[in-house]
Structure 1
Amino acid sequence: MVEKRKTGRSKKRLSLRFGTDTPSRLAFTEDVSPRGLFIKTTNLCPPGTLIQIELELPDSEPVFLEGMVRWSKKVPPQVIHLVRKSGMGIKITQFIAGEERYRRFIDELRRTP
């Protein structure tokens, strides 16, 4: 599959909470980028859904953002750790709090080999 993104992704596992009204479901990222992230979860939302995300950065206050589900892939819960990309691809639509911290974090990831 040809990569369509103009900005690269960085593999990083971060704890987060997400939900359509309030961020209440626990999940983890698999990768992050300046414009989006991948949430590894079995609790999927359909493409086009706006979700609220509370993202835990290392040694920092949480980042609150809104994102749109661009795609999702459902797999049985017992094999989620075996299947690549089981979860949701999220496009960041707006930051509610912590945009500067998130941008600095992404820049640091990209500089680290």
Structure 2
Amino acid sequence: MANKRLVSKRHTKRLPVIFSNGDSEFAGTTSNLSSTGLFIRTRKALNPGTLLKIVLEVDKDKKINLEGEVAWSLKTGLADFKNGMGVKLKDIPQAYEELIKEARSRSL
């Protein structure tokens, strides 16, 4: 079965994240961002359908709180840095929209 991936234009951006499924907290790094979601590289890729609370660390003094659902995950078992998950965001905050606008303007 083919993975359903996010279709919005992606912007490469590596930012540290902490995410939680309600029971446990995990760390990761974004690989890319889009207006509807993001890809998180992590040693702990969770299953599709898992609801997440995400803290995106834009810089030392700026964090963005997000909520989303795992749309697809990649668990290679070969190398930790290749594991990750695509997350579809819900109720996207203005701070995240501004981050995407900034990334978009840099890619022009």
Scaled to the shorter chain, the TM-score interval is: 0.7 to 0.9
**In structure 2, what is the equivalent of residue 49 of structure 1?**
50
Identity of aligned residues (%): 33
Runs of 4+ in structure 1 off by over 6 angstroms are none
| CA 1:4–1:94: 2 relative to 1, 3 Å | closer
TM value normalised by structure 1: 0.80
Summarize deviations over 1:13-56 as a string: whole Å, max 9, x none.
00010011177211100000110000101212110110110111
TM value normalised by structure 2: 0.83
1:64 paired to 2:65: yes
List gaps (5 residues or longer) in structure 2: none
**In structure 1, what is the equivalent of residue 90 of structure 2?**
93
| CA 1:67–1:58: 2 relative to 1, 3 Å | same
1:14 paired to 2:15: yes
RMSD: 2.2
| Per-residue deviation, 1:80 | 3.1
Q: Secondary structure at the match of 1:105?
A: helix
Summarize deviations over 1:53-78 as a string: whole Å, max 9, x none.
011113652111111001101123x6
List gaps (5 residues or longer) in structure 1: none
| CA 1:4–1:72: 2 relative to 1, 3 Å | closer
Aligned residues: 104
